[in-house]
Amino acid sequence: MNKMIARCGLDCAVCPALLATRANDEAKIQQIAREWATQFGVNVAASDVWCDGCIAGGEKCAHCHECEVRACAIAKGAANCAHCGEMDACAKIQGLFKMEPAAKANLERIRDALTA
């Protein structure tokens, strides 16, 4: 599967929620819900996991529905944060980059391609 870069730079194509959704694998969805609940210390139901990806139509996992980065990019009409001139100074995205440096690298590659 090719990359499917979310508005924040994460690659949805490698997300276990997207992969389990595409496989319609209810057991895997349940497992992911348990893992996320443990990892993030919150209640996560299986219904919170089903996701077709940030930029695709269809279902979104519970976090995508409340994601400030995603909401901001949509409000600005940006395909992702690489298309926003405020990315380097944005507190919302910088917090994610600390946890997910691959997201920053993905967006920087996109931004470099846009300016090339």
Give the pLDDT score at 109: 96
Interval 13-22 mean pLDDT: 96
Q: Do residues 73 and 80 lie in contact, with contact meaning Cβ atoms separated by under 8 Å? A: yes
Q: Is-contact 50 61, C-beta < 8 A? A: yes
Q: Are 32 and 48 in contact (CB under 8 A)?
A: no
**Every domain of the chain and the residues it spans:** 12-115
- So what's the pLDDT on residue 68? 95
pTM of structure: 0.88
List pLDDT tens digits, range 33-91: 999 999 989 999 999 999 999 998 899 999 898 999 999 999 999 999 999 999 999 99
Question: How far apart, in whole angstroms, are the C-alpha atoms of residue 20 and residue 71?
Answer: 24
